[in-house]
Copies of this chain bind each other. A is one copy, B any other.
Amino acid sequence: MKKFTSVSDVENLQEMIKKALQIKENPLSESEKGKGKTIGLVFLNSSLRTRLSSQIAAQNLGLNVLTLNAAQEAWNLEFADGSVMNGDTVEHIKDAIEVLNQYCDIIAVRCFAGMKNKQDDVYESILSQFEKHAKVPVISLESATRHPLQSLADCITITENWKEKHKPKIVLTWAPHVKPIAQAVGNSFAEWMQEMEVDFIITNPKGYDLDKNFTKDVKIIHNQEEALKDADFVYVKNWSSFDEYATMPEVEENWMLTNEKLSKTNQAKVMHCLPVRRNVELSDEVMDGENSIIYQQAKNRIFSAQAVFSEILEVINSK
Contacts and interface: CB of A to CB of B under 8 A. Distances in A.
Interface of A: 27-28, 36, 38, 40, 43, 46-49, 51-53, 55-56, 59, 64, 66, 68-70, 72-75, 78, 82-87, 90-92, 95-96, 98-103, 178, 274-280, 284, 287, 295-296, 298-299, 302
Contacts of A86: 178, 277, 280
How many copies of this chain are found per oligomer? 3
Sort A-B residue pairs by CB-CB distance and give the 7 closest, nearest first. Answer: A91-B275, A102-B299, A48-B74, A85-B277, A84-B279, A99-B298, A98-B295
A34 to B, nearest CB: 12
Given A73-B43, A95-B276, A298-B99, A55 B48 contact: no
Contacts of A298: 98-99, 102-103
B83 A279 contact: yes
A52 B72 contact: no
Nearest to A50: B74
B276 A91 contact: yes
B99 A274 contact: yes
B278 A96 contact: no
Contacts of A48: 68, 70, 73-75, 91, 96, 99
B36 A295 contact: no
Contacts of A68: 48, 51-52
A59 B64 contact: yes
A78 B82 CA distance: 42
A52 B27 CA distance: 27
Contacts of A56: 38, 64, 66, 103
A92 B294 CA distance: 14
Contacts of A280: 84-86
29 contacts: A28-B36, A38-B56, A43-B73, A48-B68, A48-B75, A48-B91, A48-B99, A51-B73, A52-B99, A52-B100, A56-B103, A59-B64, A69-B73, A72-B72, A85-B278, A85-B280, A86-B277, A90-B275, A91-B274, A92-B276, A95-B274, A95-B276, A95-B278, A99-B298, A101-B295, A102-B298, A102-B299, A102-B302, A103-B298
